[in-house]
């Protein structure tokens, strides 16, 4: 299994509807594998293996790899090349996939399509109890939003919802030229590690999500106006939050405290 290189994109036309941009630069392939640092018995799950740029070096490091590929042609290539004992393939949409069916201590990775990156991260967040970590490549601007701190331009709904469940870290950037076809934007690799026992206690997850969404719906609105359907000025003041503040100034802990009080 050693010495193999990622396959050429020859013979497969990248499909826009699946957001296909194939990583081909060996330097960044090696950096991503090194960042994951897979161990022999790890329960690795790759989303969107494509032409195998990461799949090939990962299979050199682990006993067995699970992959989720929506493209039937690419799925067929992988099935033809690797025996089921080494590669378990699910020809499925990752947005609908039940990750709890793969067991515990999952290590999820992949070059995620830009067009579904945020919905897919929210989907994965539902399975945080089953995850050890997530190492994925996304559009650079999305990663900036994921790691953003309060009162910064990139801070928003994605920041709060993910940071309430994960420790999020930007690892390194990947230029557009590392892909074929090259996207119009740069990418970055990020790692999410579930907070598990350190995760804040949220009494009503649905209410928390609605409050966060409303707070960032119109960024220039004060909380008094953005959340008037949820809370009165007295309720804000009772939890130590100024009604005249904007959502972008609240920390994750502030949002948890507010939502719990409303619940």
Q: What are the boundaries of each domain within the chain?
A: 16-198, 205-262
- Rounded to 5 degrees, φ, ψ at 246 are -100, 155
Q: What is the pLDDT of residue 148?
A: 98
* Mean pLDDT value of segment 120-126: 96
Nearest 5°: CA angle at 188, between 21 and 91? 45
Handedness of CA 56, 120, 252, 202 (dihedral sign): negative
Check pLDDT > 90 for residue 33.
Answer: yes
Tell which wins on pLDDT, 20 or 237: 237
Class of the domain covering 205-262: mainly alpha
pLDDT digits 0-9 by tens, 167-219: 999 999 999 999 988 888 999 999 999 999 999 999 999 999 999 999 999 88
Does the pLDDT of residue 125 top 50, yes or no?
yes
Give the SS3 label for residue 190.
strand
Q: Does the pLDDT of residue 1 top 70, yes or no?
A: no
CATH architecture entry for 16-198: 3-Layer(aba) Sandwich (3.40)
Record the pTM. 0.90
Q: Quote the radius of gyration of the chain (alpha carbons, Å).
A: 20
Exposed, middle or buried: residue 14 (CB in 10 Å: 0-12, 13-18, 19+)?
Answer: middle
pLDDT at 252: 98
**What would the pLDDT profile of 62-107 be if each residue is shown by its tens digit?**
999 999 999 898 899 899 999 999 999 999 999 999 999 999 999 9
């Amino acid at each position: 299994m050693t010495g193999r290189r990622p396959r050429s994109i020859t013979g497969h036309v990248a499909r826009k509807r699946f957001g296909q941009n194939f990583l081909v630069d060996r330097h960044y392939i090696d950096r991503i594998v090194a960042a994951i640092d897979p161990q022999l018995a790890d329960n690795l799950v790759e989303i969107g293996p494509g032409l195998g740029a990461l799949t090939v070096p990962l299979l050199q490091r682990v006993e067995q790899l699970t992959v989720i590929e929506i493209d039937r042609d690419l799925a067929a290539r992988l099935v033809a090349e690797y025996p089921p004992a080494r590669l378990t393939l699910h020809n499925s949409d990752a947005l609908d996939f039940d990750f709890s069916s793969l067991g515990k201590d999952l290590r999820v990775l992949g070059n995620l399509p830009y067009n579904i990156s945020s919905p897919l991260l929210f989907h994965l967040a539902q399975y945080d109890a089953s995850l050890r970590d997530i190492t994925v490549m996304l559009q650079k601007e999305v990663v900036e939003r994921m790691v953003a701190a309060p009162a910064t331009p990139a801070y928003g709904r994605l920041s709060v919802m993910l940071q309430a469940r994960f420790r999020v870290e930007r690892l390194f950037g990947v230029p557009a030229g590392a892909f074929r076809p090259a996207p119009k934007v740069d990418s970055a690799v990020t790692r999410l590690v579930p907070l598990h026992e350190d995760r804040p206690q949220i009494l009503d997850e649905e209410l928390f999500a609605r409050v966060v969404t409303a707070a960032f719906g119109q960024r220039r609105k004060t909380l008094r106006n953005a959340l008037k359907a949820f809370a009165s000025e007295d309720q804000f003041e009772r939890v130590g939050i100024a009604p005249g503040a904007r959502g972008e100034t609240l920390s994750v802990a502030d949002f948890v405290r507010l939502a719990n009080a409303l619940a």
